[in-house]
A and B are shown apart, each in its own frame.
Chain A
Amino acid sequence: MIAYTLQRLCYVVLVIWVMSVLIFGITQLLPGNVAYSILGQFATDRQIAEVEQLLGLHDPWYQQYGRWLMHLLEGDFGRSIVMQRAAGPLILEAFSRSALLAGIAITLVALIGIWLGTHSATHRGKLSDRLLTLLQYFFIAVPEFFWAILAIILFSAWLGWLPATGYAPIAESGLWRWAAHLLLPVMTLVLGLIAHVSRLTRSSMLEALRSTYVLTARAKGLPERLVLRRHALPNALMPAITVLAVDVGILIGGVVVVETVFAYPGLGRLLIYAIEHRDLPLLQAGMMVVTAVYALANLVADLLYAWVNPRIRYRASVA
């Protein structure tokens, strides 16, 4: 197990490093002049040359890359060109808000999705199963941004129950308003993913129920609920962990869209903003943070899976 953790850590470091090269490399291809963007369109050639010199923009690319990487590792995330502030605190604050959203979302997806999936599998063919399957089918086909629009139309425009945009820090506005601002974004994020996870849990649960070891458990005369809980469920959950890891990636995409629609001040919105304004340092640092977070989330999922799956956790043969 320890060896496995070591291997996965190496791998995570590799991924983050390659992405850093990629992010740096691609953003270097941005057309337009960085100095120009900073100084504005009325800058003189001499001013531009000065800023370029200052930022080391004429150095060979690997030097620039090295410098950027060193700064990152030291915690210096550069300066946002547009907002004229240190990018670091900006990103971290936005990240904390996105993390809140994503954290609540993934927890709900895991709990509700798995529960629905197992319920569907154990009540296979009955009305609840058929209904759920039908709903799942539709939910998977609805894009997040459309969920968002529908949610806004329903809950904000017509019913007026919930605010359509923004974020209310708990410290300032109290629990209810804070929750109210979170409700629609979270709901939008989870609906499609719950359908995905429940579908997969259902099929892996059905496969477990069809297996020889479940047959053996029944042949031992064990009560059916014990067969489900102790024999079928652990085996059905293992693929669910894998799928949740993939869903975190989809969730990140969803977060970007949802933050844009609901004007939620998170990291996704910040990234879009950085792209629109060609704010290079902000973009680079923001993407690195997202990549690192996703890589770490995958690592956690891998380790969780390895811990739960005896075939990986206990590799050696005993006899």
Chain B
Amino acid sequence: MSIAVASPGRRLPANLTIGATLVALFIVLALLGPLIAPYPFDQFNVRERLSAPNLAHWLGTDEFGRDVLSRILAGAPYSLLMGFGASAISLALGVPLGLVAAYYRGIGGELIMRGVDVMISVPPILLGLLILAITEPSLWKTIVAVGLVYVPIMTRVTRSVALGLLGEEFVEAGRARGESAFYILFGEILPNAWPPIIVETSLRVTFAILLGSALSFLGLGAQPPMSEWGLMIAESRPFIEQAPWIGLAPGVVLCILLISVNLLGEGLREALDPTFSARYGK
């Protein structure tokens, strides 16, 4: 297995710049949301309920007369938190577990991997449901649950990357110098391991957003009156025929976010693993 390095001065792939820009845009909107939203997200305005997009309300209003655009802006942080927060959790737990499982191949490593294999054999949503079934649902618990659900796959990916690296001769050269396990893991392996791990993490962000918003849609995530996008779509169901914009708007925005994150992930993969495009083509 050869580890590729992005040589300095190479042009960054288009995917990466576009994806990164869009994601950055979302982050900015999320941060500035409360400041730039025309109305507070939970302001009732019953007289103007279910109004189609117009000048006063660019994306219309929902069944309580709340401005859809403002709600969408207010909901941006939740999706971002879901994606990046859950991925951060699975990264923080999965990577060390994977490194340990790779380095200590004996009983400890085997146990970890058997556990991982079993967990991976369960459909993600089931694990999520299981975890959420036992407590009062809330957004934070959903983020933690989604994070935990993806720990096994991060462990597995980290372990296979680390195992591949442990077989490299420069690691053996380190052992021939009598280097400690700590130095080998952090000085030799990790600098080479993080590109594939970053790429995998970016994939996880996409799945985390998908899973998290699906759970919110099912009522097991964010709770009203939060304007999380999945929840907004769920709440729009009774009014689909009369006021489709209530569900369409957050849905479209969610799709754009997911596409942006995908672009970012693909771009990172191209930048960090040049052999990828040679292998998988355009």
A: which residues have CB within 8 A of B? 11, 14-15, 18-19, 22-23, 26-27, 29-31, 124, 137-138, 140-146, 149-150, 152-153, 156-157, 203, 206-207, 248-250, 252-253, 256-257, 260-261, 271-272, 275-276, 283, 287, 290-291, 294-295, 298
Of B59-67, B83-91, B126-134, the stretch lying at the interface with chain A is: B126-134
Of B5-13, B92-100, B179-187, B229-237, the stretch lying at the interface with chain A is: B229-237
- The answer on a CB contact under 8 Å between B210 and A149 is no
- The answer on a CB contact under 8 Å between A272 and B218 is yes
Residue in contact with B262 in the complex, picked from A137, A257, A275, CB distance below 8 Å: A137
- The answer on a CB contact under 8 Å between B248 and A145 is no
CA of A207 to CA of B210, assembled, Å: 29
Q: List 5 A-B contacts (CB under 8 A).
A: A30-B134, A137-B262, A253-B123, A276-B219, A294-B122
B residues less than 8 Å from A143 (CB atoms): 210, 213-214, 217, 230, 251, 254-255, 258
- The answer on a CB contact under 8 Å between B244 and A157 is yes
Which of chain B's residues 183-229 have a Cβ closer than 8 Å to chain A? 206, 210-211, 213-214, 217-220
Chain B interface, DSSP helix/strand/loop, else mixed? helix
- The answer on a CB contact under 8 Å between A15 and B121 is yes
Chain A interface, DSSP helix/strand/loop, else mixed? helix
- Report the interface size for chain B: residues with CB under 8 A from the other chain: 43
Q: Which A residue's beta carbon lies closest to that of B230?
A: A145
Q: Type the 1/0 row for B104-126, where 1 means its CB is closer than 8 Å to any CB of A.
A: 00000000000001100111111
CA of A18 to CA of B236, assembled, Å: 39
- The answer on a CB contact under 8 Å between B281 and A203 is yes
B177 within 8 A of A: no
Residue in contact with B134 in the complex, picked from A27, A152, A203, A272, CB distance below 8 Å: A27
CA of A271 to CA of B130, assembled, Å: 10
A residues less than 8 Å from B230 (CB atoms): 143, 145
B: which residues have CB within 8 A of A? 117-118, 121-126, 129-135, 206, 210-211, 213-214, 217-220, 230, 233-234, 236-237, 240-241, 244, 247-248, 251, 254-255, 258-259, 262, 279-281
- The answer on a CB contact under 8 Å between A149 and B237 is yes
A residues less than 8 Å from B214 (CB atoms): 143-145, 253, 257
- The answer on a CB contact under 8 Å between A146 and B126 is no
- The answer on a CB contact under 8 Å between A142 and B255 is yes
- The answer on a CB contact under 8 Å between A150 and B218 is no
- The answer on a CB contact under 8 Å between A27 and B122 is no
- The residue among A27, A141, A142, A276 with the most chain B CB atoms within 10 A of its own CB is A141
B residues less than 8 Å from A141 (CB atoms): 206, 255, 258-259, 262
CA of A32 to CA of B273, assembled, Å: 51
B residues less than 8 Å from A157 (CB atoms): 240-241, 244
- The answer on a CB contact under 8 Å between B123 and A145 is no
Residue in contact with B240 in the complex, picked from A149, A249, A287, CB distance below 8 Å: A149
A residues less than 8 Å from B122 (CB atoms): 15, 19, 249, 291, 294
